Structure 1
């Protein structure tokens, strides 16, 4: 009966708290940037990709915001203006409210 053990925290995989701890330590900035032809893009930056999967988070944000987007250079880019909605989603996912800052 061998259980997988997390190399970081030493707990069994199903009890691992590394991702929860990582969520509390993030400094996330969410802001709007105008792109080609004046189209707005919501940019989410400051999430450490070593601890949290940006691809999985981007997929969830795109689904809940009903928009397109991508992950580039350690940032999540979403088409359209979704600052407030993204902040609510991140807080519901376990990120602390103080760590999610809305910009411009």
Structure 2
């Protein structure tokens, strides 16, 4: 039998090289966070928090804390935290107490 080497592989895992780089999470005071209002579905207002640099689990944990402290629902989508209703001032206070640099944007 001959020794054959793979020339082509359709397996995407084979072709990927393992990366040694980890996503860096910035310290809270190094992050510039913006909170603005958006209308979803025409009439419903949501507070949108963007600019956070967290990994997936920390992101979800922070969203859970914010939702429970505001007493409302919300979601994590596309790197944003969505909180139902106009809770910008309360969210700003909560995030500042955690050490984040927060600014309100838009109106």
Q: Same fold (TM over 0.5)?
A: yes
Alignment root-mean-square deviation, CA: 2.2
Alignment counterpart, residue 98 of structure 2, candidates 80, 83, 93: 93
Q: Deviations along 1:50-86, whole A, 9 cap, x unmatched?
A: 3981101000000000000010001000110000000
Matching residue of 2:58? 53
Runs of 5+ in structure 1 lacking a partner? 1-18
TM-score (norm 1): 0.73
Alignment counterpart, residue 46 of structure 2, candidates 2, 24, 41: 41
Partner Cα distance (1:24, 1:94) in 2 = 6
Matched positions, count: 84
Q: Which has the larger radius of gyration?
A: 2
Structure with bigger helix share is 1
Map 1:60-99 onto structure 2 (within 5 A).
Answer: 60-95=65-100, 99=101
TM-score (norm 2): 0.71
Partner Cα distance (1:52, 1:32) in 2 = 25
4+ residue runs over 2 A deviation? none
- Checking the alignment, whether the CA contact within 8 Å between 1:42 and 1:82 is kept in structure 2 is yes
